[in-house]
Amino acid sequence: MTKANQDLTIVLNHPAAESYASLIEERFPTVRTIVAADASDLEKNIGDADAVLAFRFPVEVFDKAKKLRWFQCTGAGVDSLYPIRDKVGHITVTNARGIHGEIIADFVMAGVTMLHWDFRRFLQEQERREWQPRYVAPLGDRTLGVIGLGSIGATIARRAKSAGMTVVGSKRDISQPVDGVDRLFAADAFDEFLPLCDFVVLALPSTPDTIGVIGASHFEKMKRSAFLVNIARGNVLVESELVAALQEKTIAGALLDVFEKEPLPSNSPLWGMPNVIATPHVAGSPTNYTERVFSILAENIENYLNGRPLKNVVDLSRGY
């Protein structure tokens, strides 16, 4: 944005569209909002949109969005844009980066602790009224590896370090240290990185370069006692190869919040595996989510109206 914009029409394509509309109208009475929560309303109104707020970019109506100059994603990932990313160079894309890190770190550390202590076994023993004491090593004796050290991955690393764990990380640029990470590895150094880890956390964005980047050859490099945690996107790993690795006990288990297909199909073997904790894509869902996103949206509306650069702009060539 280089000049002030006196007029702004925002099409709200989101289940919480009415709430966003109320918040916008109260704070910015001159901004026009259009609630388009379903496909027919979206198709009817997209031609009026200077901006769209949605969790996923509405690719199916892109050709009708002649006025569109800004897309505000209510999540962190913008992979829904990739099919048309060569056509959207004139659109500024922003996301909700910054509101997910702490709650996802809560989720990861809770899950790591449950896996480490084998809480599923404790619960089963409780149900059977069995008293089975056992010794467990402190988490501080274990190493957690994070693949992808953006804002979310870095928050996870910092939290793991505060629990006393050794933390290693994998990222594209290792020229600068990351707080809480004891040792950095280049993105292609899995042969060195994976054997060190007792827990491997996937926190990388879903981009054309990362789809299916983790598969059978990587599970083979992990310790047989190691656990995989995926809070990134389901498509960054090859799910069928993960299922095989879990069935064959190539790795000890997994905590999975994201899947190749969501909702996870009822016939997926992941549902019934005793060494898997599966959750319905909730790791990045803090309470008061709409208000948290609105704090970013409001700042960006202010910036848009005054011709200032927007916050949380996504570089589509990198995916984040």
Which is catalytic among the residues 85, 142, 218, 233?
A: 233
Q: 123-158: buried (b, 16+ CB within 10 Å) or exposed (e) per residue?
A: eeeeeeeeeeeeeeeebeebbbbbbbbbbbbbbbbb
- Smallest Cα–Cα separation from 293: which of 312, 319, 316, 318? 312
**In degrees rounded to 5, what are phi and psi of residue 222?**
-80, 155
- Smallest Cα–Cα separation from 43: which of 52, 88, 90? 52
Q: Is 27 a catalytic residue?
A: no
Q: Is 224 a catalytic residue?
A: no
**In degrees rounded to 5, what are phi and psi of residue 159?**
-70, -40
The span from the CA of 208 to the CA of 203, in Å, is: 15
Matching residue, tokens 């160079």: 89
Which is catalytic among the residues 18, 262, 291, 318?
A: 262
Torsion of CA 75, 289, 153, 150, to 10 degrees: 50
The span from the CA of 49 to the CA of 10, in Å, is: 6
Which is catalytic among the residues 281, 299, 302, 308?
A: 281
> DSSP letter string over 62-122?
GGG-TT--EEEESSS--GGGGGGGGG-TTSEEE--TTSSHHHHHHHHHHHHHHHHHTHHHH
Q: Are 104 and 155 in contact (CB under 8 A)?
A: yes
Using a CB cutoff of 8 Å and minimum separation of 24, what contacts does 259-263 make? 259/234, 260/234, 260/235, 261/234, 262/234
Return the sign of the alpha-carbon dihedral for residues 41, 47, 53, 54: positive
Q: Is 281 a catalytic residue?
A: yes
List the catalytic residues: 233, 262, 281
